[in-house]
Amino acid sequence: MKLGFIGCGNMACAMMGGIIKNQVLSAEEIIASNLGRAPLERAQRELGIKTAQDNREVVRQAEIVVLAVKPQVYETVIREVAETVRPEQVIVTIAPGKTLNWLTETFGKPVKLVRTMPNTPALVGEGITAVCANESVTAKELEEVCRLLRGFGRTEVIPEHLMDVVVSVSGSSPAYVFLFIEAMADAAVADGMPRKQAYEFAAQAVLGSAKMVLESGKHPGELKDMVCSPGGTTIEAVRVLEAKGFRSSVIEAMKACTHKAKSM
Ligand SMILES: NC(=O)c1ccc[n+]([C@@H]2O[C@H](COP(=O)([O-])OP(=O)(O)OC[C@H]3O[C@@H](n4cnc5c(N)ncnc54)[C@H](OP(=O)(O)O)[C@@H]3O)[C@@H](O)[C@H]2O)c1
């Protein structure tokens, strides 16, 4: 099995790293190309993958090809490789806003397409990737792509109309969580805690809380209530967060993110 990546930036490296670390594929089974040589040389050095001089070479050698370039580069790359794509090949996309219809039109021919939205926690094997496919992709092929994606986290097959929402709730959301962790750590530093320790406390609290939501099956509101003792410290913090519009800030930010994803 040969997996190809066109574009060898942050997301491609996170995906490749997970796939290799979890022995879903060996490094020799992965080939990548990139515009500049530096990211490619780094990936070759750090991950041991094979590299190609140009994007068409990746398409020639791989059975499944991931288009791991920025959304604005998709059209250029697709036009460059379209002729080389074989009918039995599966193309995996990871860009927001690039619909299956748009992709088919841009390739200008029938292509097996799997549209996905991963996120950077893939780097530590804790990603979640949403997946949808066009009708040319068989159940077996879709499962094969999901097997690769599970190399760096969970996968969920979803209807395509939810893909823009996924951009906001998982593709981009690590950035909001990092902001939240940084803000909590800043507050702890302001109250005298050393910065390194503050990041550890804040990050571990987020990690543990996320695990509680996933593993207890309890409603997040119920878990919040469990921390808020009557007349206690936590409800004071919750009161101020509500007064400052914490919840609606998150909702409005995510709606802006989804709106942007739809327009890309
Ligand atoms: N980062 C995330 O959290 C995240 C999450 C979900 C989805 N995504 C999606 O993943 C895709 C990649 O994002 P990223 O964050 O990995 O971006 P990135 O780090 O900028 O990587 C993109 C890579 O594509 C290369 N490239 C540009 N033009 C090319 C071309 N014509 N042919 C081959 N390679 C080319 C760039 O090389 P040069 O640097 O040499 O130009 C760069 O190394 C995007 O569509 C993004 O929306 C990202």
pLDDT tens digits, 198-248? 999 999 999 999 999 999 999 999 999 999 999 999 999 999 999 999 999
Is 153 found in the same domain as 35? yes
Instruction: Looking at the structure, tell me whether residues 91 and 146 fall in a common domain.
Output: yes
Do 16 and 125 lie in a common domain?
Answer: yes
Residue of 8, 31, 35 to mutate, ligand 1, most atoms within 8 A of C-beta: 35
Q: Give 150's contacts (C-beta < 8 A, 6+ positions apart).
A: 24
Domain-terminating residue out of 102, 136, 164: 164
pLDDT digits (tens, 9 = 90+) for 141-156: 999 999 999 999 999 9
Q: Are strands 112-117 and 127-133 parallel, antiparallel or unpaired?
A: antiparallel
The per-residue pLDDT for 264 is 86
Mean pLDDT score, 160-168 = 96
Both 20 and 62 in one domain: the answer is yes
Put simply, whether the predicted model's pTM sits higher than 0.85 gets the answer yes
Query: How many domains would you assign to the chain?
Result: 2
Structural domain for 131, as ranges: 3-164
pLDDT band at 81 (very low <50, low <70, confident <90, very high): very high
pLDDT at 183: 98
Last residue in a domain, options 111, 146, 164? 164
Task: Express each pLDDT in 10-41 by its tens digit.
Answer: 999 999 999 999 999 999 999 999 999 999 99
Strand order in the sheet with 153-157: 50-51, 30-33, 3-6, 64-67, 90-93, 112-117, 127-133, 153-157
pLDDT at 1 over 90: no
Q: Report the Cα–Cα distance between both ends of the chain, in Å, rounded.
A: 32
Does one domain contain both 222 and 187?
A: yes
C-alpha distances in Å from residue 36, one per residue of 9, 39, 55, 235: 10, 7, 12, 52
Length of the chain: 264
Q: What is the pLDDT of residue 34?
A: 98
Q: Are residues 152 and 32 in the same domain?
A: yes
Q: Are residues 138 and 201 in the same domain?
A: no
114 lines ligand 1 (CB under 6 A): no
Q: What is the pLDDT of residue 78?
A: 98
Are both 150 and 20 inside the same structural domain? yes
- Provide the CATH number for the domain around residue 215: 1.10.3730.10
Report the C-alpha gap between 147 and 126 in whole angstroms. 15
Pair 137, 237 in one domain: no
Radius of gyration of the chain (CA): 21
CATH number of the domain enclosing 20: 3.40.50.720
Query: Ligand 1: which of 70, 79, 129, 263 to mutate, judged by most atoms within 8 Å of the beta carbon?
Result: 70
